[in-house]
Amino acid sequence: MPPSVLDRAFIRDIFRQTEADEFLIEHPKTGMLMVLVPAGKFLTDTGGHPPFEVDLPAYYVAVHPVTNAQYARFVAETAHCPPDNQVWQESGKMNHPVTDVTWHAARAYCKWAGLRLPTELEWEKAARGLDGRAYPWGKDWDPNRCRNSGNKGGETTAGVWRYGQGGAPFGGLHLSGNVNELCDEHHNRDAYIHYRQGKMAVPFYAQEIVHRGGSFLQSGNYGFASSYRGGYHWDVKYRNLGFRCVVGLGTSP
């Protein structure tokens, strides 16, 4: 079961804050917990180019990917197509990330909830904090801090309240491992050239959507770094592909 929003011991441990109320909200429609990513600059690094700073407005990001339980409510209220797998309604998987949904379905969920998918820069800032760290927890790879194919249970997704030791600086969980996460942009290989120049709107490149973060199907360390980015066609459904939501401070949740 997820922790109560009033469980201050949990909040202080996971979110590394002393006054959690300033940084944590409970989204009224979905019940998902969301943490504040404050406005300002962060250090980005795509792995193949020198690091540079990007300045973003403040926003709230969901603590974890959208779960099967959260997506089930959306399906029940809208009659939208369910996930394309046999486990999404299993009692033991309700707090696992929803998978096997397309980018269009993920955007439909966000629209229903009054939220949106993150830009890849928002996702990256939530994952790595301000100091350019390689992984949400620090500079060194540690396979025990996230769900991957090399740890026990790695043949499937993990519940979203596991691997708290792999939490990101602002409080997000599973920003490395468990499932790849869809962002709201097309996958343009030259995107970071545009970002470096201060151009946040990336030109259309292909019918591929950016995904970030590693998944339970992957091993090694490369795909789990906060700098890693890949692309999937916008109509694909994979058992290792999910999403999380964000909302800007100027938007009423």
74 vs 67: CA distance, rounded Å: 11
pLDDT at 154: 84
CATH assignment of the domain containing 62: 3.90.1580.10
In this structure, is residue 213 part of a structural domain? yes
Q: What tokens does 253 get?
A: 């949740």
In this structure, is residue 110 part of a structural domain? yes
The 3-state secondary structure of 145-200 reads HCCCCCCCCCCCCCCCCCCHHHCCCCCCCCCCCCCEEEEEEECCCCHHHHHHCCCC
For the sheet containing 246-248, what is the strand order? 24-26, 33-37, 59-62, 246-248
For each of the chain's 253 residues, which pLDDT tens digit applies?
444 433 444 545 544 544 445 688 889 999 999 999 999 999 998 766 789 999 999 999 999 999 999 999 999 999 999 999 999 999 999 999 999 999 999 999 999 999 999 999 999 999 999 998 999 999 999 999 999 999 988 899 999 999 999 999 999 999 999 999 999 999 988 899 889 999 888 777 778 999 999 999 999 898 999 999 999 999 999 999 999 999 998 655 5
Rg (CA), the chain: 17
- How many structural domains are present in the chain? 1
pLDDT at 6: 38
In this structure, is residue 79 part of a structural domain? yes
pTM for the structure as a whole: 0.91
Provide the domain limits for residue 202.
8-248
In this structure, is residue 118 part of a structural domain? yes
In this structure, is residue 253 part of a structural domain? no
In this structure, is residue 3 part of a structural domain? no
In this structure, is residue 243 part of a structural domain? yes
In this structure, is residue 75 part of a structural domain? yes
pLDDT at 180: 98
59, 84, 118 from 121: Cα distances, Å: 12, 29, 8
pLDDT at 1: 40
- In the beta sheet, which residues pair with residue 25? 34
88 vs 69: CA distance, rounded Å: 8
